Amino acid sequence: MLQRIRIALVTAAAAMAGLALAAQPAVIRIGVASPTVGTAFTAGSAGIAYTRGWIDDEFRQDGIKVEWHFFKGAGPAVNEALTNKQLDFALQGDFPSTVGHSVGLKTRIIAMAGVRTNLYLAVPTGSPVKTVADLKGRKVGLFVGTNLQLPANRILADHGLAERDLKIVNLDLAGIDAALSSNDLDAGFSDQRVLKLRDQGKVRIVYTTRGHAPRYTRQNALLVTDHFARRYPDATTRVVRGLVKAARWVADDKNANEAYALWARMGVPEAVIREDYSGESLQSQFSPLLDDFAVARYREVADGLLQLRLIRKPVAVPTWFDRRFLDAALRQTGLAGYWQPIDADGRRLAGAAAPQRTRL
């Protein structure tokens, strides 16, 4: 009898071990809505996690391979890869991820990878355009289908304009910069990289979201497919843990200079990056929290897409956010409470401590 009990216990233990092994993937595929430019992908906290290998390190001892895929076509290309079941995770902007979710891509938002990202409106140096209102009837570059489009639309609306009042030219950011430099565009909406052209005397900045209301900014998040999250919850948490470690490293004042140097590897001068991030702590800008601010921005994106008829039905934004993996990662790294949540209007919640300032 005792021998049969021992055999049963050994069999049960072996079965449980087999289940534990089966609960880990052989490979983890992460898609990034950005081409690999410069010497390496280093943008934001996700780029730091990639460069320093913190997500890969989570799985190395288990022999689990992490594959990083970079998409020149940005968000729309990532959606296509998700549709074709070629990715498990995606680092993606709010606009394309919301479009994808609206048409049935089963994803979950599990951590923020960058919040309140700025937008710039640039014109060739000799252009007569001096304000947003001057864009009417002019040829304007815009990377349609990315998370630049809706903030650009909000800026236009606040100046009495809409896309239909402009001659929109759909170009990626590199194409916009090139067209501005060659005077083939009257203006273009771009990101921090356009400040490099300004410093070279090729463009003027006539508008920036820096210092304005948060509704003008752009958000980026880490998403996981519903299939992967359900099948591999532990691996999902470990991916988030790697991102959290990177965000914590970026937030530390003593790492600021190294962080700026790493980000500059993407081909944008360090001085430009410092200028773009000025006015707000790196701790706050790379908070991974899925707080009220993040939910409000995605709800605003979903409402804007519906209003523009770019999606056909409303998106249930609150249920799209899944905080369980981030909560677990924060507990496991001892970082619960390190980042302070922000309310829907971009203000710290009452009683929350001020974020640490990054000394430059």
Which tens digit of pLDDT belongs to each residue from 249-299?
999 999 999 999 998 888 888 998 899 888 788 898 899 999 999 999 999
Which tens digit of pLDDT belongs to each residue from 84-104?
999 999 999 898 999 999 999
* CA neighbor of 48 nearest in space, from 255, 288, 262: 262
Residue 242 domain-assigned (yes or no): yes
Residue 162 domain-assigned (yes or no): yes
- Reported for 274-280, long-range contacts at CB under 8 A and 24+ positions apart, including other chains, are 274/360, 275/192, 275/195, 276/118, 276/192, 276/195, 276/210, 278/210, 279/210, 279/211, 280/116
DSSP state of 146: S
What integer pLDDT is reported at residue 354 of this predicted model? Answer: 45
What integer pLDDT is reported at residue 39 of this predicted model? Answer: 54
Print the domain residue range for 69. 26-116+218-332
What integer pLDDT is reported at residue 35 of this predicted model? Answer: 63
**pTM of the predicted model as reported, rounded to 2 decimal places:** 0.81
* Helix ranges restricted to H, the chain: 2-22, 44-52, 54-60, 74-83, 94-102, 149-158, 173-181, 194-199, 226-231, 233-251, 256-263, 270-276, 282-285, 292-307, 317-320, 324-332
Residue 173 domain-assigned (yes or no): yes
Are 195 and 253 part of one and the same domain? no
* CA neighbor of 226 nearest in space, from 217, 236, 218: 236
Whichever domain contains 172, its CATH number is 3.40.190.10
What integer pLDDT is reported at residue 40 of this predicted model? Answer: 67
Residue 351 domain-assigned (yes or no): no
Are 190 and 240 part of one and the same domain? no
Of 208, 231, 253, which residue sits at a domain end?
208
Number of domains forming the structure of the chain: 2
What integer pLDDT is reported at residue 128 of this predicted model? Answer: 93
What integer pLDDT is reported at residue 13 of this predicted model? Answer: 43
Residue 222 domain-assigned (yes or no): yes
Residues of the chain with pLDDT under 50: 2, 5, 7-22, 351-360
Are 228 and 327 part of one and the same domain? yes
Are 269 and 318 part of one and the same domain? yes
